[in-house]
Amino acid sequence: MDNANFFDNFCKYFDKAAALTNYSAGLLEQIRMCNSVYHFKFPLRIDEHNYEVIDAWRVEHSHHKLPLKGGIRYSLLVNEDEVKALAALMTFKCAIVDVPFGGAKGGVKIKNSNYTDHQLENITRRYTAELIKKNFIGPGIDVPAPDYGTSEREMAWIADTYTAFNSQPGNTDAFACVTGKPISQHGICGRKEATGRGVFFGIREAVNDKEEMKKIGLKPGLGGKKVIVQGLGNVGYYAAKFLQEDGAIIISLAEKEGAIYDPKGFDVDNVKKHRIETGSILGYKNAQDIGNTYDALEMECDILIPAALENQIHSENDNKIKAKIIGEGANGPITADAEDILLRKGILVLPDIYLNSGGVTVSYFEWLKNLSHVAFGRMEKRHNEIDDYNFVSVIENLTGKKLPKDQQNLIIKGASELELVNSGLEDTMVQSYHQIKEVKNKNSKIDNLRTAAFVNAIDKVAVAYMNLGIFP
Ligand code: GLU
């Protein structure tokens, strides 16, 4: 798969939107380009006599707000162009969901399965030490998170390395140097599912939008919608699971080794279990196996969710896509030229910079939790319960009637951290969708949601730069 033009692709999307704004060319160039690109190499000891040199990057796209934010990817496909594009996308994601960060991204060019856990730990700790040396990490500087090929485990190693280097007395905020940590290491409930849950909320909002559904000839509502998901990783798995739980029918799931199809729909948890047990998605119960996984993208469905890597829909398959809606769970799954074709075919595209921003939204909550040193809901949970109890008692005394226990339980309830995180995420995804729609409806030259999302983000970043006094 060719991903050499990912940053150019981002620029095409950006330029299309920038042309619809009135900002000066200099300001637009400042918003578009990557501010700092740090490429470094470090040795990994493989055994007593052998070393391997590892290639790694951290790209800081925009410093209009601090800290910067974005995941770290471990993959053999990692290259400078990819990390630059992913860093740029982070700036726009944060702006769209009003998370007060600039965008950044990290990458290490490795194939995880080639290394032992111990070697992966060494790589992660050394990567972190290199970032510390150059001031590319810190709670107020640049805050990494998981991405493709990394998880809570790597984030715990990063946090531990950073705190070891920053253990001076009084430095109580060091754990805010990275998000997506395990709960036991100052993580937050709901972060792991957050990107997939955000994809679900975003798609649900779009299919409830009568105006958009009318244009593509679909009935509003998720119930009965036929969905295809590419990628059963952290994003795809949770997106598929939450969509299924809300009544959508997951007719096909695609992974590296192939895809499976069943018009009656899959139980996503069972498929995941099957893949863990057998090592492959193929051979699942009575489902039809599809040997060429890319064929799944071209099948009839209402909603197609590419939730794996970039450049999945391109000049060779754009004309064959039959979905009515494409929800970009991954970053950059559609090339800019392919999107023109999809839009001409009347497909509704929910862009990555909106749809997969649930991860960074909950990362923001985790960062806030780390800086405030208290779990969300801890101070007010019991107080709210007592308030609710008193309220119910007053109503019961006034009316002389008793509220049934199940209804009491609905009212007398302080929110847990998970409930607060999920409601904060839901509200963010709903509000941001309507912000983007408002931008689109205000300007008749904007004919799609991606351009509207970019215009919305460019406006916010431009205002920040102008308020810094850097641009008039
Ligand atoms: N890697 C995720 C993304 O691409 C999360 C970033 C974050 O939480 O900082 O959005």
pLDDT digits (tens, 9 = 90+) for 296-346: 999 999 999 999 999 999 999 999 999 999 999 999 999 999 999 999 999
Question: Considering the entire predicted model, what is its pTM?
Answer: 0.96
d(CA 116, CA 133): 26
d(CA 437, CA 154): 37
Take residue 365 and report the two structure tokens written for it.
Answer: 């909550």
- Please list, residue by residue across 21-41, b when 16 or more beta carbons sit within 10 angstroms of its beta carbon and e when fewer do: bebeeebbebbbebbbebebe
Atom index in ligand 1 nearest the CA of residue 86 equals: 4
Ligand 1 touching residue 70 (CB < 6 A): yes
Q: Of all protein residues, whose CA lies closest to atom 9 belonging to ligand 1?
A: 70
23-71 pLDDT, tens digit per residue, is 999 999 999 999 999 999 999 999 889 999 999 999 999 999 999 999 9
pLDDT, residue 468, reads 82
List the pLDDT tens digit at each of the 472 positions of the chain. 444 599 999 999 999 999 999 999 999 999 999 999 999 999 999 988 999 999 999 999 999 999 999 999 999 999 999 999 999 999 999 999 999 999 999 999 999 999 999 999 999 999 999 999 999 999 999 999 999 999 999 999 999 999 999 988 889 999 999 999 999 999 999 999 999 999 999 999 999 999 999 999 999 999 999 999 999 999 999 999 999 999 999 999 999 999 999 999 999 999 999 999 999 999 999 999 999 999 999 999 999 999 999 999 999 999 999 999 999 999 999 999 999 999 999 999 999 999 999 999 999 999 999 999 999 999 999 999 999 999 999 999 999 999 999 999 999 999 999 999 999 999 999 999 999 999 999 999 999 999 999 999 999 999 999 988 777 7
Q: Of all protein residues, whose CA lies closest to atom 7 belonging to ligand 1?
A: 360
pLDDT, residue 1, reads 42
The torsion angles phi and psi of 359, rounded to 5 degrees, stand at -65, -50
What is the DSSP pairing of strand 249-255 with strand 226-230? Answer: parallel
Q: What are the structural domains, with CATH classification, of the chain? A: 36-185 (3.40.50.10860), 188-377+415-472 (3.40.50.720)
Q: Ligand 1 centre from 63 Cα, in Å? A: 17
Instruction: Judge whether 437 counts as a catalytic residue.
Output: no
Ligand 1 touching residue 360 (CB < 6 A): yes
